[in-house]
Structure 1
Amino acid sequence: MLRDILLADSPALSRRDMLFGAAGLGASMLLPRSIRAGDSAPPALREPVDFSSPETNLLGYVRLIGDVSGKPSYGWGHGRVFGTRENELAKLLFDYQSCRLVEFRKLDDGSWAQGYRGLILFTDPESGRVIDGFRNPFTDEDNEVVHFRTSFGASIFSVDGPRSLAEFERESPTEEGPFVMPWTVIGDDVWATYDERIAYRRPDGEWRVDNAVYRYHGYLSELTDPDNSAPYHDMMWSTELNWFTYMRMGDIPGHIMWAGMGRKYDRLDALPEVFLAEAERRYPGFLTTPIRWEEFDL
């Protein structure tokens, strides 16, 4: 676990640094799972909760993913990245850590605008160091690594489903309404599955396919609590997509397979300190710059 959390690409970490890093992560994991709102009561699900209703799904998703008071939320994750070919065991490529900054704003028509910015840093599975290259197990060649940065983007979520404001050629069955997700409820435990399969054309003309599925776990008592603007969630995520371009795989059959997990925090400084330091060193201000809503006509 510690190997997956601590990033040691910049100055070498002493054992004392590692112990403090582990202690800091432990403290962040002990934070209360409820994230409280301000004075005004935010919208909450009403009991008995009808998860077959698009209205319930819309509000439930927004509450589970972000903060209905308009404050930012930070989704942190970590996991592994594999390459796989038909009828072969998958080969481990590298690990990753990620952060996704999310804000929601309610619009006059009852829909919600989601603003976001995301960062994924790829790491060595053994040392936990952020990597700039790796040995491709399929070609036995050294490849560079391009870390993922999603500059400010926005989507509109309504009872008719999600709609990206980005202007590019794409296909996605998830943008076809009504907006109803699979939910499972056992006592106070709630699980929701968000399907984010999409095919799109890159600026260089390449057609890409990303079959992503997010599985969120939260608590019904928090989703229905009007004093809680941002109910807790933990998350598992998996996706399959084309080979990374920098792997230089050409027409070799196969694809990338990701698997990861994480949770939502209400403060950026609740994330592992070494991850934040590495993100700031490589991409100054990327995770701390506020969402620029004025860039979109909402």
Structure 2
Amino acid sequence: MNDERRILLRAIAGLGAGAIAAPLAAGTGVAADRPAPAPGPREARLLWARLVGDLTGKPVFFFTQGSVWGFKPQADHLTTAEFAKRIYGYSGLAARRIVPTGDGWTLHAAYWAFYRDPVTDAITDRIPNPYTGRIDTAKPLSGTPAPKPLDLRPVPGTATRVRRLGTSAIVETSTISRFRSPDISWHKLEANLEDYVCRAAELDAGAPHLPSHYSQSLVAEWQTWTGMHGTPGHILFKGNGEPLGGLDSVPRDQIAAIERFFPGTLGTVRAWR
């Protein structure tokens, strides 16, 4: 997977901000943050599947949106405008159907991810780079992988932690990775920090799907298409999202962009039953 695909897909809810708490029931108050024992590797993967999908086979449509910021290293001469710049926005839709089988589950998936103009927030494939002054080409992404068994093996470099806050459970995941994409000659480092905030009662009851609020902070090197490799500094993806009721709930401009850039691909998920 090349650099552009890897980092943007990590930003759309597990294809790769502070926690947004779920509403508390009236009169419950807010209890102190209570850590719970870290789940085992298989339990952690099943927990992720319940957050982004439904173990009964019902389709789940997870929509994510956010901003990407660039940061220069601190220095006495830097102004605030030079220190941090919003480079672009992004949005993504991940559709999943996790179908029970005799000894596990089969994962059906599709995804679409788009860049957004930093000023108008319109979906675009042309991004004005505030550091170089160039107009960069940033192609949207889509994929409909072949159905495959749900992988419950541990993900290298990933840790999962569950915290309690009042009637909410906060599932924290952190993935620290070092990699080299086939289209570059150097290694990159990424830190991907995600929170899923759901209702503690549904988590404890073993609900097959856990509606949640999602937030993410991902720190990485400048993306390759910016032409800024070796420039001091880094980028920060800051996003949030949640599962939607169905395709009718997806923002209209996202659906229009899918039909424009990837015509016919929505038919795959519309055929899910």
Using the size of structure 2 for normalisation, the TM-score is: 0.71
- Pairing partner for 2:55 from 33, 44, 68: 68
2:91 equivalent in structure 1: 97
Work out the CA distance in 1 between the residues paired with 2:144 and 2:89.
Answer: 22
Gaps of 5+ in 2: 1-35
- Pairing partner for 2:141 from 145, 148, 153: 148
Q: 1:137 to 1:262 in 2, by over 3 A?
A: same
Q: 1:245 to 1:157 in 2, by over 3 A?
A: same
Comparing 75-84 and 216-225, the one that deviates more = 216-225
SS at match of 2:64: strand
CA RMSD of the aligned region, Å? 2.9
SS at match of 2:255: helix
Deviations 1:212-245 (A, max 9, x none): 121100012223446x532211100111222222
* Cα pair 1:101 1:287 within 8 Å, conserved: no
Gaps of 5+ in 1: 1-49, 163-171, 175-179, 292-298
Asked whether 1:253 is paired with 2:232, we answer yes
Aligned residue type for 2:116: T
1:12 equivalent in structure 2: none
1:11-22 pair list within 5 angstroms: none
Q: 1:52 to 1:79 in 2, by over 3 A?
A: closer
Q: 1:139 to 1:129 in 2, by over 3 A?
A: same
Deviations 1:136-194 (A, max 9, x none): 11112222222233442768543x523xxxxxxxxx422xxxxx621111232110012
SS at match of 2:123: coil
* Cα pair 1:77 1:262 within 8 Å, conserved: yes
Deviation at 1:97, TM superposition (A): 1.3
Q: 1:93 to 1:249 in 2, by over 3 A?
A: same
1:1-298 pair list within 5 angstroms: 51-54=37-40, 56-87=43-74, 89-106=83-100, 114-152=107-145, 156-158=150-152, 161-162=154-155, 172-174=156-158, 181-206=160-185, 207-225=187-205, 229-290=208-269
* Cα pair 1:146 1:246 within 8 Å, conserved: no
Work out the CA distance in 2 between the residues paired with 1:117 and 1:208.
Answer: 26
SS at match of 2:222: coil
* Cα pair 2:163 2:170 within 8 Å, conserved: yes
Q: Percent identity?
A: 23
